[in-house]
Structure 1
Amino acid sequence: MFVGIETTNILVLGSGDNLHQQVLASFPLCDVTEEDLTQNPQFCKLLATLTQHVDRSGLTVPLKADLERAEQKLQSQKRQWLRSESLHRGLQEMIQEFYVRKHNSTVPPDQNMFYETMERCLRVTRCAKQLDPSSTTSQDQPSVLGLTPQQVLQLLPSEKNVQRMKQALPRQLERRLKEKCLSLVSYYQPEWENESEGLKTNKLSHLSTLLDKDKKRTELLKETCRENTVLLQRQTQLYLSELIKCIQLLQTLILDHRLKIQTDLDGKKLDYFEGKCELVLQKIKTEMVEIQLDTYSLDTISAHRKIREKLESELTACKAEKQALEMKLSSFEILGKAFEALADEYCRLRQEIDMKNWALKELTKYNEK
């Protein structure tokens, strides 16, 4: 029975690509692509079923209703707080402006009494409220300086002055709020600033409607912006995936093409470098010949060549002699240490013979003299 209901819900949404598009539109915050839904049809059916119970933000229908009621209650309490806060700040601004006027010029006594009474009432009421324990806690709060709210309330002005202040306050406050509202109208539409006060007052009555329209239009633009952002992210992911595939294909083509022509390219490079080396060698030889011609004459060069040939022939002969002696020395080394001792003895005897021959020659020279 449940399977039949689920199938009916999915058929109501759509089928095929249309179903995928509707599922993606129903879950804009879900990072899922159409390809994922195509590869996972059961997951797509699950999401299509969830669209009957979940909104676009992912909240269930009962939770969404509770959230809306909580938001309405919060907005109501916020409006009440803003109303009282606006009145309190308006009164504070009126007092500040009064003291500025009093500092710059002389004010009538009735105004002086009115504003002083209002300021004193605000201060006393605020202090009494601070001393009054909160209604949200059952614990007793310690008193400040041992004072109670009743003791502070005794500092209020006389009842007569308070009544006079209360009678004049609505008119003054209404005038103050009207000026601020007209300033708000001028700020909202600067072209209305030069119009008459009656026309501004008439437009002020429609200001809330205009602000609601602007707010709705702004929210609609924000929602459109979020949808466009999600769409842009999906398109970017799709674009990047396609781009990666193209890059991989290009890499494959480049590697295949390079492997095919690499041999010919290496051969051509080798021929080029061989020719370049040969050219450099010929240039070096030419430079050497030019240096020789600039340094020596033809006769000197021919003499140097003969000397070089003779020295090379003598060097060749010395190398051959050296090689022969090395061969003899290697053959003597084969005889071992016994032959080494005989060779040392032979060297010693040769040295003695040479010394005696030298002494004999010297003696002969001395006798001849």
Structure 2
Amino acid sequence: MSVSESVMASSLGKGDNLHQQVLASFPLCDLAEKDLTQNPQLCKLFATLTQHVNRTGLTPKLKAELEREEQKLQVQRRRWLRSESLHRLLQEMIQEHCVRRHSATVPPDQNMFSETMEQCLLVAQCVRQLDPSATSVQEQPSVLGLDPQQVMELMPAEKNVQRMKQGLPRELEKHLRRKCFVLLTYFQPEWEGKSDGLMNANLAHIAGRLESQDKRAEALKEVCRENSVLLQRQTELYLSEMIKCMQLLQTLILDHRLKIQIALDRKTLDYFEGKYELVLQKIRTEIVEIHLDTYTPDTISAHRKIRDELASELKACKAERQSAQSKLASFEILGKEFEAVAEEYSRLRREIDMKKWALKEFSQHSR
């Protein structure tokens, strides 16, 4: 075992504890404990990487560089946020003045202050749009053929601008105080309607409360992320256990299916035998009912008379047959000479019968 592997093993533990610590050290990786168990070399690789990278996958050097760049970004962001906030506050002050001017009478100096500030903002915005230094394209065509110097001529009178600049901090402070009061009453509705002195005193604590709530929200987000990772692992474990249970259940079903099938087939056979007997009895009953409907007492008596007559005729035929057989036997005793005489006699009988038929036909047609 190498030195790094020994350090890794001693610092992270062994067995299942090692798998759990590796998973905890790389929460952003989509890994399961099963993956580390099936791939020991991968587990060793991740365990070794824990000596060089943090939970986010960065080395100390990259982490320091990232922190420096984040600080620079924060500085730039604060500068932009400061200017953007000031610009929006000025826009809100102008909008409030417009609303107030349509709903009530506003003093002339207040009108002059708001109109001068609005005009200065518009000119500054147009100058920034026309300034080629703010874009990457130096030879960009000007809008409507204007240049910043021409737009600057639309600035209000210098004395109005100076008067607006002198009164701007005071008006901006009033506007900010009103917004802070609104924010305070939003977080603490019981302070609504209190005096300005009490609300000013309580405003000193609003930043700390907002910061504490922001930290609490970040902590809750971190807890939610950890819970989501834990839920995902528990879900994978649950699904794997469910698959094992299903496989075990399938094995039990396959093992005991034959025994259950034999008993089921026996019961099915008994059922069909009973059904066969029932159907057979029903057929016999139907046959008896058909006989009873077909053979009435009158029909049975007529059949009996017919049977007696047929029996008597059969008896007479049998007697005649026996007499003919006895005569035939007596004729057979006479030999072949009598056979020739019998054939000649039969031929003569046929001729006689034929002539009788012809004579009868001739007599009928001659009338």
TM-score bracket, normalised by the shorter chain, equals 0.7 to 0.9
Partner Cα separation in structure 2 for residue 360 and residue 189 of structure 1: 147
Counterpart of 1:214 in structure 2 is 213
User: 1:303 Cα deviation (Å)?
Assistant: 5.7
Amino acid at match of 1:232: L
Partner Cα separation in structure 2 for residue 87 and residue 64 of structure 1: 34
SS in structure 2 at match of 1:53: coil
Residues 109, 196 of structure 1: alpha-carbon distance in 2 compared, 3 angstrom cutoff:
closer
Partner Cα separation in structure 2 for residue 231 and residue 360 of structure 1: 127
Counterpart of 1:74 in structure 2 is 73
Residues 95, 261 of structure 1: alpha-carbon distance in 2 compared, 3 angstrom cutoff:
closer
Amino acid at match of 2:185: S
Partner Cα separation in structure 2 for residue 301 and residue 130 of structure 1: 125
Counterpart of 1:287 in structure 2 is 286
How well do the aligned residues superpose, as a CA RMSD in angstroms?
A: 2.9
Partner Cα separation in structure 1 for residue 103 and residue 275 of structure 2: 98
Residues 128 and 134 in structure 2, CA contact (< 8 A), matched pair in contact too: no
User: 1:225 Cα deviation (Å)?
Assistant: 1.5
Amino acid at match of 1:65: A
Residues 47, 273 of structure 1: alpha-carbon distance in 2 compared, 3 angstrom cutoff:
same
Residues 145, 287 of structure 1: alpha-carbon distance in 2 compared, 3 angstrom cutoff:
same
User: 1:364 Cα deviation (Å)?
Assistant: 4.2
Amino acid at match of 1:183: V
Counterpart of 1:112 in structure 2 is 111
Partner Cα separation in structure 1 for residue 64 and residue 304 of structure 2: 113
Partner Cα separation in structure 1 for residue 206 and residue 14 of structure 2: 47
Amino acid at match of 1:99: C
User: 1:174 Cα deviation (Å)?
Assistant: 0.6
Amino acid at match of 2:28: L
Amino acid at match of 1:71: E
After superposition, where does 1:293-304 map in structure 2 within 5 Å?
293=292, 297-300=296-299
Amino acid at match of 2:218: E
Partner Cα separation in structure 2 for residue 303 and residue 227 of structure 1: 104
User: 1:188 Cα deviation (Å)?
Assistant: 2.5
User: 1:183 Cα deviation (Å)?
Assistant: 0.8
Could you say which structure has the larger radius of gyration? Answer: 2
Residues 40, 360 of structure 1: alpha-carbon distance in 2 compared, 3 angstrom cutoff:
farther
SS in structure 2 at match of 1:90: helix
Partner Cα separation in structure 2 for residue 18 and residue 65 of structure 1: 31
Counterpart of 2:148 in structure 1 is 149
Partner Cα separation in structure 2 for residue 148 and residue 219 of structure 1: 48
Residues 192, 63 of structure 1: alpha-carbon distance in 2 compared, 3 angstrom cutoff:
farther
SS in structure 2 at match of 1:156: coil
The yes-or-no answer on 1:170 pairing with 2:186 is no
SS in structure 2 at match of 1:235: helix
Structure 1 segments, 4+ long, off by >4 Å, are 301-308, 357-364
Decide which moves more: 246-255 or 13-22: 13-22
Decide which moves more: 206-215 or 108-117: 206-215
Counterpart of 2:251 in structure 1 is 252
Deviations 1:255-290 (A, max 9, x none): 221213423432331232022111122123213433
Decide which moves more: 70-79 or 251-260: 70-79
The yes-or-no answer on 1:95 pairing with 2:94 is yes
TM-score between both structures, scaled by the size of structure 2: 0.77
Residues 303, 56 of structure 1: alpha-carbon distance in 2 compared, 3 angstrom cutoff:
farther
Amino acid at match of 1:263: I
TM-score between both structures, scaled by the size of structure 1: 0.77
User: 1:138 Cα deviation (Å)?
Assistant: 5.0
Residues 301, 165 of structure 1: alpha-carbon distance in 2 compared, 3 angstrom cutoff:
farther
Residues 165, 13 of structure 1: alpha-carbon distance in 2 compared, 3 angstrom cutoff:
same
Partner Cα separation in structure 1 for residue 304 and residue 240 of structure 2: 76
Partner Cα separation in structure 2 for residue 359 and residue 158 of structure 1: 161
User: 1:145 Cα deviation (Å)?
Assistant: 2.0
Decide which moves more: 278-287 or 171-180: 278-287
Residues 50, 359 of structure 1: alpha-carbon distance in 2 compared, 3 angstrom cutoff:
farther
Deviations 1:9-68 (A, max 9, x none): 431233333322211111123233334334433322211111122222333333333333
Residues 37, 302 of structure 1: alpha-carbon distance in 2 compared, 3 angstrom cutoff:
farther
Residues 90, 362 of structure 1: alpha-carbon distance in 2 compared, 3 angstrom cutoff:
farther
Residues 35, 100 of structure 1: alpha-carbon distance in 2 compared, 3 angstrom cutoff:
closer
Partner Cα separation in structure 2 for residue 50 and residue 235 of structure 1: 25
Task: Give percent identity, aligned residues only.
Answer: 69
Amino acid at match of 1:67: L
After superposition, where does 1:229-240 map in structure 2 within 5 Å?
229-240=228-239
Counterpart of 1:326 in structure 2 is none
Residues 124 and 156 in structure 1, CA contact (< 8 A), matched pair in contact too: yes
User: 1:8 Cα deviation (Å)?
Assistant: 1.8
SS in structure 2 at match of 1:145: helix
Amino acid at match of 1:130: Q
User: 1:299 Cα deviation (Å)?
Assistant: 3.9
After superposition, where does 1:1-369 map in structure 2 within 5 Å?
3-290=2-289, 292-293=291-292, 297-300=296-299, 363-367=362-366, 369=367
User: 1:292 Cα deviation (Å)?
Assistant: 4.6
Decide which moves more: 67-76 or 107-116: 67-76
Partner Cα separation in structure 1 for residue 298 and residue 61 of structure 2: 118
Residues 294, 190 of structure 1: alpha-carbon distance in 2 compared, 3 angstrom cutoff:
farther
Residues 181 and 199 in structure 2, CA contact (< 8 A), matched pair in contact too: yes
